[in-house]
A and B are shown apart, each in its own frame.
Chain A
Amino acid sequence: MTAEARTDAPANGGLRAWLLADTVTSTGQARAQKLYLGWRRFSSNPLALIGLGIVVALVMLAVFAPLVATHDPFAQSLDRRLLPPSAAHWLGTDELGRDIWSRIAYGARITLLIVLLVALIAAPLGLLVGTVAGYLGGWVDVALMRLVDVFLSFPGLILALAFVAALGSGLENAILAIALTAWPPIARLARAETLTVRRADYIAAVRLAGASDLRIIVRHIMPICIPSVIIRITLNMAGIILTAAGLGFLGLGAQPPSPEWGAMLSTGRAYMLGSWWLAAMPGIAILIVSLGFNLLGDALRDVLDPRAS
């Protein structure tokens, strides 16, 4: 049906006219129109495009790190240590003569890994807790939401610090600790979404058809909550990156010689008075990426909820 509408569209004035037509002939067209209008609102905001550009650049940098890196990120050469930025070493070299640009390029992989893994742990956990609490209600709801409140009464970094202190330092534990602090807001959101649909007719219909609670939650409620959960986690990405960098800076996250940006900043600190670029460059990388996610999150919120802008 969609394909059919698409083929006869050019006769009426091209794809643009099809996307802006007043009368919609298929659900596919309605969806495409909604996406297109959202994109128009999104792309009319230059800050949003900058944010999107930064995030795309981060992904590219991570994927093509071996191609964009000019040197081996782990190759030490002591006769070229602490060199300022130059044509040979774009961002200078560190205390062991390693090329900082190449290390930042490889470090993008770690940043992306942290962000993705935290999202992959925190989102399903929050989704599960939120939908179960919202759907079952009663004492389950009270107990789970109290747990969420307690987690929210700690600032994220402090709770992550306490978890890492107990689990031991290292990248995996840092990711786990950040994920443990990132799920409660998602659970709250998922619960609110669940409350709006739990009394819907279609849920009653599936229940009458004999579906179990588990099946209703997993197959009929969770899919409804997923889009808003994805947006919420995008909004939180900048915070996740800053927390990860903070843990790396304290020496509790990724360990040297890993080119994790926070850890690079931490070693660069000892040399910062003589060779400022050691600490400045990874910090700028963190700033740009977290700014990118903030701009993107802001713009997404504007598109999805025009009142909030």
Chain B
Amino acid sequence: MAAGGAAVPVHGTGAARADGTARLRRVGREALRQASAVGISLFGLLAITFFIGRMLPLDPVIAVIGDDAPQSTYDMVYRELGLDRPLWEQFAIYVGKVLQGDFGLALNTSNRVADDLLRVFPATVELATVSIVIGVGLGVPFGVIAAVHRGTMIDHIVRVVGLIGYSAPNFWLGLMGLVVFYAMLGWVGGPGRVSVFYIDMIEPRTGFLLIDSLLANEPDVFWSAVDHIILPASILGYSSTAYIARMTRSFMLEQLSQEYVITARVKGLSRARVVWRHAFPNIMVQLVTVIALAYAFLLEGAVLTETVFAWPGFGRYLTLGLLAGDMNVVLACTLIVGLTFIALNLISDILYRLLDPRTR
């Protein structure tokens, strides 16, 4: 591909055509570089999870058959698990299975881990999505306001509230939220995704209860689901708000110190117009990256928050698997989170290129 591209400018007639091919070549090379980086990351992800799985201090054969099985059974299972083969061959088998979506069986549910993941993941995505909406909806305006009023009381308040959001363990905020808003005030629904009366009433279509209940025309279920998601989503949303507001503030400060802002002000434009129409569009591209990262961190926050709220999502599935000593579940979840991280990074990278004319 590189050779073909190099030949074109020599034979090309118009400057425009040469320019076009050069750009195509650059994009091609860029895509190739990106693809190889993602490929290596994926390989590393598999290698680390494989390595963690082999680090187990307990014998995987005994985990399957128990310790009073006869030697012949032991040898059979030993071979079945592929433990008699060289390590690289075991790794190849592992990669092959993962690529087919085979993560083995879960001890707790005795389902295939892959099926369980498909069932629990939408609940987490639903929670994370509502949280990120809260995080963006509050974080961006607060960040802009803090930057505009730099050094004033408003700036300090946003900064301190943000730092507390950074510093508070969100599982603890969840517990305290349940004590105050559920037990004492009764404003919100308690643990779980929906009131116990409605569990399994709605046929999952999208897997997102808020959408499914509306599609099934069950407003009672919808409001019960809203009642239950609002507290965990607010608590997860708080830490996203803190992060997004902080980054928005620093991006905005950088823009407001630029000369074009002064020029616009000198020309007589109102402060609001300069801030929102001139400066803000310039930080939107950077914000996309921040929001993608914040979304990825919500998955991490979900592990503990879901445990606190008995939210039937991926985080709770992971911790239950962990407490049961079920490595199949733990490794599958670790792998999925790693994949989501890589995917979100890739998406934000692509969006960055698409949205920012300067990268063209």
Contact = CB atoms under 8 A, between A and B. Distances in A.
Interface of A: 47, 146-147, 149-151, 153-159, 161-168, 238, 242, 245-246, 249-252, 262, 265, 269, 272-273, 276, 279-280, 283, 286-287, 290-291, 294-295, 298, 308
A246 B171 contact: yes
Q: Which range holds the interface residue count of chain B?
A: 35 or more
Interface of B: 37, 40-41, 44-45, 47-49, 52-53, 55-57, 159-160, 163-164, 166-169, 171-172, 175-176, 178-179, 183, 250, 296-297, 299-300, 303-304, 307-308, 318-319, 322-323, 325, 327, 330-331, 333-334, 337-338, 341-342, 345
Closest 8 CB pairs of A and B: A150-B44, A283-B172, A155-B300, A291-B167, A290-B167, A166-B55, A162-B334, A165-B330
B325 to A, nearest CB: 7
Contact of B172 (A146, A250, A252, A287): A287
Q: Interface SS of chain A: helix, strand, loop or mixed?
A: helix
B172 A158 contact: no
A159 to B, nearest CB: 7
Given A150-B44, A165-B325, A280-B176, A291 B164 contact: yes
Nearest to B336: A158
Nearest to B331: A162
Q: Which of B53, B168, B172, B322 has the most CB of A within 10 A?
A: B172
Given A153-B345, A155-B299, A250-B322, A166 B327 contact: yes
Contact of A294 (B45, B52, B57, B167): B167
A55 B163 CA distance: 16
Contact of B41 (A149, A155, A156, A246): A149
Contact of B330 (A146, A150, A161, A262): A161
Contacts of B171: 246, 249, 265
A262 B169 CA distance: 10
Contact of A154 (B166, B330, B334): B334
Contact of A295 (B48, B163, B299): B163
A163 B330 CA distance: 10
B149 to A, nearest CB: 16
Nearest to B160: A47
Given A166-B55, A265-B171, 12 more contacts: A149-B44, A155-B300, A156-B300, A157-B300, A162-B49, A162-B334, A165-B52, A166-B57, A250-B323, A279-B175, A286-B169, A287-B169
Given A153-B338, A287-B167, A246 B322 contact: no
A162 B338 CA distance: 12
Of the candidates A147, A151, A161, the one having the most CB atoms from chain B within 10 angstroms of its own CB is: A161
A305 to B, nearest CB: 12
B24 to A, nearest CB: 27
Contacts of B175: 265, 269, 272, 279, 283
Contact of A168 (B48, B57, B304): B57
Contacts of B163: 291, 294-295, 298
Contact of B169 (A153, A154, A242, A272): A242
Contacts of A250: 304, 307, 319, 322-323
A238 B167 CA distance: 7
Nearest to A163: B52
A161 B52 CA distance: 11
Given A150-B48, A279-B176, A287-B169, A165 B327 contact: yes
A163 B44 CA distance: 16
Residue among B168, B178, B342, B345 with the highest chain A CB neighbour number at 10 A: B168
26 contacts: A149-B37, A149-B41, A150-B45, A150-B48, A153-B41, A153-B345, A154-B48, A154-B337, A154-B338, A155-B296, A158-B299, A162-B52, A164-B322, A166-B55, A167-B57, A168-B57, A246-B171, A265-B171, A272-B175, A272-B179, A279-B176, A283-B168, A287-B168, A290-B167, A290-B169, A291-B163
Given A153-B345, A158-B337, A166 B167 contact: no
Central interface residue in A146, A158, A262, by most chain B CB within 10 Å? A158
Contacts of B49: 162
Contact of A166 (B44, B52, B168, B179): B52
Nearest to A156: B300
A265 B341 CA distance: 30
Contacts of A246: 169, 171, 303-304
B322 A161 contact: yes
Contacts of B327: 165-166
Given A147-B44, A272-B175, A165 B337 contact: no
A84 B162 CA distance: 31
